[in-house]
Each structure stands twice: as C-alpha cells, then as structure tokens.
Amino acid sequence: MARFQEDFPIFRDNDVIYFDNAATTQRPVQVMDAMRAFNDECNANPLRGLYDWSVRATEAYEDARHTVAQFIGAERDCEIIFTRNTTESINLVAYSWGLTNLKEGDEIAITVMEHHSDILPWQMVSRQTGAKLVYLECGQDGVIPKEEYTAKITEHTRLVALAEVSNVLGITNPVREIADFAHDKGAVVLVDGAQSTPHMPVNVRELGADFFAFSGHKLMGPMGIGALYGRIGLLNEMPPFLTGGEMIESVDRYSATFAPVPEKFEAGTVNASGAVGLAAAIEYLKKVGWDDIMNQERMLTRRLMGELAELPEVTVYGNPDPDRHCGIVTFNIEGVHPHDVASILDSEHICIRAGHHCAQPLMKHLGVSSTARASLYFYNTEEEVDRFVRAVGKVRGWMGY
C-alpha cells in the first residue's frame, strides 16, 4: 500500500481509486481515534455541566477551537465559530451581516466560479434587501483579469465573496489583491476556503479575509463540522443567526440578551466530537506537512494532465498549467456524457464526480452543461493516475465508438 494510504482504513484490502476528494476526503485512523477517545472518555454536553466529564468535553471543544484558530491564522480563538460546514458558515454571514447591513443601491460582488453555497445566500440577500448581485467573470483559463475586478468593485460594493480555490477549475484566485482593492472601496471580503484549506497553508489575516468559511470533511475531518472565521469587530456588531440555548446572557419573557462571541453564534448543543475530529485532522495534516502534501499533489496533477493530453478525445477545462489546478482536473470525453464516464469508471472501481459540480453559472460560462471531474489528494499515487488514464482511454470503446 502506498506511503500515505496506510493511515486510511478505507483503502485497505481493495483496489478502489478515490479521485473525488474535492467532494469529500477520506479519514485517517488518527481522526477516528480522537473522536472515539472523546466519546469513550468524556462524552457530555459541553459548556453546561459542572461535573468532570462535561468540564473535559468543554476543554476538548475549546482546544479544538484553538487548533482551528492557529491553523488559519486567526488572531483570537473567539473569532472561530463552529458550524456544520462551509454552506452554513456562508449562510450565517448572509443572514446575520448581509440582511442587517445591505440595502437598495448597494452591490454584492461574487465570481462566476462560485459554488452554489456562495451564490444562493447572496441571491437571497439581494432579493430581501434590494442590493444588486454583480458577477466577476473569469476567462476560459479560470483567471479573473485585474481589469474585471477593478471595474466591477466600486464604492457601491459592500461585500465581495469569492472562493480561494475553484471546485471546478482548481484555480487559486488572487484573493489578497482583490481584498486589498475591495477594502480600499470600503467593502467587506468573504473567502470561501472549502477547497483551499485542504491543499495549502492559509492565513486569514495575510489573505485580507474579513470572513473565511471552510468544511472539516474536505480536509480529512468528519462530516457535520465546519468553521467560520470572522473579524472580531464585525462579529461583535452582528445579530445572532440562530437563537436558543447556549447563546444567551439572560432571558426574560419577552426579550433576551446574548452571550459574547463565539457563543452568540453557536445556538443549541454543539458538535463537540466533530470539533475534536476536525482538530485531529488538522494535527494530522501538520504531521504530514505542507511540503509533502503540495509536492505530491503537484507531481500527480502534472502526471495526470500530461497523460490526458495524449488522449485526443479528452478536453480538460481551465488553465493549461497543471500547477494551477490544486489537484482538480475537470474534463469531458468527446461524444460521451459525463454521467456515462463516471459509471464506466465506477465499474473499474474508480470514483470521480460528474455533473455540474454545484457551479451551474460557471458551467454555462464554460459553454457546457456538465463535466467529469477527477480531484486528487496527497494520498493518491502515480499508479492510480496511470490506471485512471488507461480507463479513461478505453471509455469511448466501451461506449461502442
């Protein structure tokens, strides 16, 4: 078994090639062990109890918050709010900050390559406040030209929301440059970090992010836990998103006052074992090390794009430079529907994604209705890439061409 795969029970005793890492990643045994230890040793409702298990559950949960804060370079732990996932993090900002701060005449700028999670919340805010939704377009290579964002981000722009890495093209956006420009115009910047946090070091302050959203399950953590970073000054001013237990200071019959951040935004019983699992995933990432992770992904992506380029029936979308794909290679095979591509590859025990990838505006922009997508992670191997490309090369034959 390949070097990195030994830690992943799901890869044992089978020949499955898992190339759907942009959808969700696999979990190493260290993550499961950390969650099991929480459940076996101190499972209790955190933040409530005064007995030992609950105190330890609270400590584990707050330690996880600290790990997340350090991981993305937040200044303070209280700037990290645990959510279910990137989607919930962005919705929190849309409902709480967006509905409170935006009005007719204002503009929200997003890129055409956003995941639906970073489009629909802003459509909702736009409908409810009258603020206008403006799209920053990219070229066929995935690059958003400077003239595009400097023309469309104006004094009317109150919010710029963009993915650091596209889940379809894998391109990394120039977040810092766009954020600097947006800040000069007085706008707030939200960064969707769902596809960047698994693949590269992130520092929210160096990025210029006022808000930063990501999901645990895309970086080897469990499903159902994610995080929102918010600059403390903004979070303090924002009203709660959800209301209920845990997030209050005091409650009268007809009114309530709220706890300070982060509790103000964490209504109800929290996902403490999920947070512990996410922290363990971050520790695991750190143990493997960014150098190994990024080198392995770069090597595999170059190999994959190089070998696909030998197949004339395959069109790869986005930037011709494999180093600008973050392990994500979106493609079509001439004359074969991407769903058929995925089904045929499944019969070869190869998992890829096919469809619109929750990015329909980008699909239309690229002039396609759907594509196939192979997304790699550092635990994938050269042999898997070769077997995958051999299978892709046989697809048209299987379809009877």
Ligand X SMILES: Cc1ncc(COP(=O)(O)O)c(C=O)c1O
- Positions in the binding site for ligand X (CB under 6 A): 22-23, 85-87, 115, 117-118, 163, 167, 192, 194-195, 215
Please say which residue, 109 or 163, places its beta carbon nearer to ligand X: 163
Closest CB 198 distance from ligand X, rounded Å: 10
272-288 vs 290-308: helix axis angle to the nearest 10? Answer: 80
Please say which residue, 106 or 192, places its beta carbon nearer to ligand X: 192
Please say which residue, 22 or 57, places its beta carbon nearer to ligand X: 22
Closest CB 223 distance from ligand X, rounded Å: 8
35-59 in b/e burial notation, b at 16+ Cβ within 10 A?
beebeeebebebbeeeeeebebbbe
Q: Is the separation of the CB atoms in 96 and 239 below 8 Å?
A: yes
Closest CB 367 distance from ligand X, rounded Å: 21
Please say which residue, 20 or 106, places its beta carbon nearer to ligand X: 20
Beta bridge partners of 18: 351
Closest CB 193 distance from ligand X, rounded Å: 8
Whose CA is closest to 110, among 135, 143, 86, 138?
135
The enclosing H or E element of 33 equals helix 29-42
Beta strand 226-230 with 248-251 is: unpaired
Which residues lie below 8 Å from residue 222, measured CB to CB, with a gap of 6+?
A: 27, 31, 35, 216, 273, 274, 277, 278
State in Å, rounded, how far the first CA of the chain is from the last one. Answer: 36
Whose CA is closest to 202, among 90, 282, 89?
282
Active-site residue, selected from the candidate residues 78, 138, 326, 358: 358
Name the DSSP class of 268. Answer: S
Closest CB 144 distance from ligand X, rounded Å: 15
Helices (H), strands (E): how many in the chain? Answer: 14, 15
Please say which residue, 26 or 117, places its beta carbon nearer to ligand X: 117
Closest CB 342 distance from ligand X, rounded Å: 16
Please say which residue, 174 or 393, places its beta carbon nearer to ligand X: 174
Establish whether 78 is a catalytic residue: no
Rg from Cα positions in the chain:
22
Nearest-angstrom CA–CA distance, 255 and 186: 34
Active site residues: 358
